[in-house]
Amino acid sequence: MATYDLATQEFLKVLTSVLGPVKSSALALHEPNIGEHEHQLVAQCLSSGWVSSVGAFITQFENQLSKITGAAHVVATVNGTTALHLGLYAVGVKPGNEVIVPTLSFVATANSVAHCGAIPHFADSSSETLGMDPIALRKHLASTTTKRGGDLINTKTGNRIGAIVPMHAFGHPMQIDELDLVAKEFGLPIVEDAAESLGSYFGKKHTGTFGRCGVLSFNGNKTITTGGGGAIFTDDEVLATKIRHLATTAKIAHEWEFIHDATAWNYRMPNLNAALGCAQLDRLDEFLKNKRNLAKKYQTALVDAQFLKFVSEPTGTTSNYWLNTFQLVQPDLQTRNELLAAARTQGYLCRPAWNLLHKLPMYQNSPRAELPVAQMLENSLINVPSSANLGS
């Protein structure tokens, strides 16, 4: 019997043992958990008449996020991509610059760079954390860059490198302490893509709080949702003031005049979305507990597995287990695809990791390091149903 047949049998057995047989048409990868509390706060917002970009729920939502993450300043935005765009722009990324990003990431990580008129420069991943590999990055930067007038220059392209954007894949914290050392060594600001990692900690510090700023996403498939939405957070008061100003069309406060002092964006989160977010944050501990319970069930079911292993939180970290992930012991794209097809036939809506960003048509000519680990991970990772209610 072919290896992928045996691996498929093992995969389906684990899914069934943890999740049971699919009774409806399909079991989603990750779906929101909306209850009575969410209905109540959204109804309050509707009754208030303040449903757009001004309202009490926006302030409440930002304050709740500040308390959870430990960040001094939070600005709620319409989605995570806009938050990342604002962060990169605010730390000084300019058109023609290059920004270091992981090739194993959601496309928004690279797109936010492109929205600045800059160029993504792709880095390899760590097999232990799935995030950017700081050791490989240090070696790559040492061999391909030089300092010129205080700037870090890519010697192959002549472009200034303006920032590093690490991403915490599937909620698992990457080696942000080591990356911080690399960033300081080469004089680069960190804009931390923590879009997937609300409730995740490196040591005792929340992800997204290690760089100049960090961002979160609250899309419908995230740990908590605002329907659509994001946030950018920082301890730098000057940077936070700049970001908030740029997110609100750079409008100068005045009783009636429309005075704008910069070309900016209308990236503000609506109050209606924030109301939903406030209710969801009230339940965050419940969601995180259920997601860890589900992760433990998957991990236990894979203890004696021959072809698959469970991707656990890295040592010294606490993961929110946004998406539970299995990894093929022997990476093989054909086997991965066979498992995905078989699972979906049985109603389990599993998915692979993202296609590596440097392979996408708009980024094929972008600069990049050697990417062997990311390629291996692309061929071996499968995300399995991870909704919080599955672990209750």
Mean pLDDT of 238-267: 96
> Residue 3's pLDDT is what?
63
> Residue 23's pLDDT is what?
84
* CA angle 84–164–249, rounded 5-degree value: 25
pLDDT at 1 over 60: no
Position 266 confidence tier, pLDDT thresholds 50, 70, 90: very high
Give the residue from 358, 359, 348 showing the smallest Cα distance to 326: 348
> Residue 25's pLDDT is what?
84
Give the residue from 74, 387, 79, 54 showing the smallest Cα distance to 218: 79
Position 308 confidence tier, pLDDT thresholds 50, 70, 90: very high
> Residue 99's pLDDT is what?
99
CATH number assigned to the domain with residue range 3-33+284-391, chosen from the 4 options 3.30.470.10, 3.40.50.720, 3.90.1150.10, 3.30.230.70: 3.90.1150.10
pLDDT in tens, 84-130: 999 999 999 999 999 999 999 999 999 999 999 999 999 999 999 99
* CA angle 191–195–197, rounded 5-degree value: 105
> Residue 2's pLDDT is what?
59
- Report the predicted TM-score, pTM, of the whole model to 2 decimal places: 0.96
CB 77 within 8 A of CB 232: yes
User: How many helices (H) does the chain have, and how many strands (E)?
Assistant: 12, 18
Contacts of 65 (CB under 8 A, 6+ apart): 71, 74, 76, 216, 231, 233, 281
pLDDT in tens, 5-24: 889 999 999 999 999 999 87
Q: Where in the chain is the domain with CATH 3.90.1150.10?
A: 3-33+284-391
pLDDT at 151 over 70: yes
Mean pLDDT of 256-276: 96
Alpha carbons 133 and 309: distance in angstroms, whole number = 21
Give the residue from 200, 137, 202, 135 showing the smallest Cα distance to 165: 137
| CA distance to 142, 176, 179, 341, per residue, from 203 (Å) | 28, 10, 15, 38
| DSSP state letters, 51-111 | -SS-SHHHHHHHHHHHHHH--SEEEEESSHHHHHHHHHHHTT--TT-EEEEESSS-HHHHH
Alpha carbons 8 and 216: distance in angstroms, whole number = 35
CATH class of 36-282: alpha beta
Mean pLDDT of 332-354: 96
Alpha carbons 141 and 159: distance in angstroms, whole number = 13
Q: Work out the end-to-end distance of the chain between its first and last CA atoms, rounded to an integer number of angstroms.
A: 37
pLDDT at 211 over 90: yes
> Residue 392's pLDDT is what?
86
Per the prediction, the chain carries an average pLDDT of 97
Residue showing tokens 């970001």: 243
| CA distance to 18, 57, 65, per residue, from 274 (Å) | 34, 5, 11
Q: 176 by DSSP, 3-state: which?
A: helix
pLDDT at 4 over 90: no
pLDDT at 330 over 80: yes
Give the residue from 187, 189, 179, 113 showing the smallest Cα distance to 151: 187
Tally of CB atoms within 10 A around 153: 17
Q: Where in the chain is the domain with CATH 3.40.640.10?
A: 36-282
Q: 344 by DSSP, 3-state: which?
A: helix
